């Protein structure tokens, strides 16, 4: 095994349509704890998302693409409510298994989930003030250009894609740290595979520049995380 290059050939267990449904549901539910510990979205919310939404001076709409079990969206909605921001939060995921978990989650009235992808949202001319994603970039392959263009086309504000930064240290720490959370889930195997599939900062910057030159900035908001940021291309409704 090497971490010198992306292991794009690896497939995560939970992406298998025939994977154990109970372990999948347990994995999606336990992401709530893992995301709070390592995703860095608390920092991204405070430094990037909240200031943008506050600056609008009006009710806003935020889309989480690939929202999975919905934990991130509910967490961000709670932070925004605490800050007095009027926001409608929409989670979209094309995988009905993830959508089932999200739809069963206790959520406030301004949070909704649907089984949909970026293309279907564009087809109905939906538009948002921010489009975000978590742990999606390392999954995209040959369709990267289309995915990135669609996320920008859905936003009239910012686009923020957060993902893992591949490194030996991240791999080693995760291998140990995930142990108490992993039983009954795919968290250990899939988490380690995700790290191996993920980008380094330079790799992600180069990949984004190839697909959409000059549009994206790549930052490292917290340890072991990358944030790709761009401006949306949607016109104001």
Phi and psi at residue 22, to the nearest 5°: -70, -45
* Inter-residue contact 64 to 73 (CB < 8 Å): yes
Residue-wise pLDDT tens digits, 53-89? 999 999 999 999 999 999 999 999 999 999 999 999 9
Beta strands 217-219 and 60-65, pairing class: unpaired
Q: What is the mean pLDDT of the chain?
A: 96
CB atoms within 10 A of CB 80: 21
Residue-wise pLDDT tens digits, 160-205? 999 999 999 999 999 999 999 999 999 999 999 999 999 999 999 9
Residue-wise pLDDT tens digits, 135-148? 999 998 878 899 99
* Inter-residue contact 129 to 192 (CB < 8 Å): no
Phi and psi at residue 191, to the nearest 5°: -65, -45
Query: What's the pTM value of the predicted model, to 2 decimals?
Result: 0.96
* Inter-residue contact 226 to 201 (CB < 8 Å): yes
Which domains, from first to last, does the chain contain?
A: 40-170+200-231 (3.40.50.150)
């Amino acid at each position: 095994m090497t971490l010198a290059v992306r292991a794009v050939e690896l497939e995560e267990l939970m992406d298998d349509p025939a994977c154990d449904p109970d372990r999948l549901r347990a994995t999606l539910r336990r992401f709530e704890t893992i995301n709070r510990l390592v995703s860095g979205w608390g920092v991204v919310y405070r430094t990037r998302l909240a200031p943008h939404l506050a600056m609008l001076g009006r009710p806003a709409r935020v889309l989480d693409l690939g929202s999975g079990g919905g934990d991130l969206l509910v967490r961000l909605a709670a932070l925004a409510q605490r800050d007095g921001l009027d926001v409608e939060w929409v989670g979209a995921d094309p995988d009905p298994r993830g959508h089932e978990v999200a739809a069963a989650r206790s959520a406030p009235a301004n949070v909704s989930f649907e089984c949909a992808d970026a293309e279907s949202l564009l087809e109905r001319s939906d538009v948002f003030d921010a489009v975000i994603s978590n742990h999606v970039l390392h999954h995209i392959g040959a369709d990267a250009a289309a995915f990135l263009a669609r996320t920008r086309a859905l936003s009239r504000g910012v686009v923020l894609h957060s993902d893992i930064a591949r490194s030996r240290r991240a791999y080693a720490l995760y291998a140990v740290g995930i142990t108490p959370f992993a039983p009954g889930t795919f968290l250990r195997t899939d988490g380690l595979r995700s790290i191996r599939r993920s980008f380094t900062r330079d790799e992600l910057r180069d990949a984004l520049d190839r697909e959409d030159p000059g549009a994206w900035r790549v930052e490292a908001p917290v340890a072991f995380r990358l944030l790709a940021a761009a401006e949306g291309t949607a016109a104001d409704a």
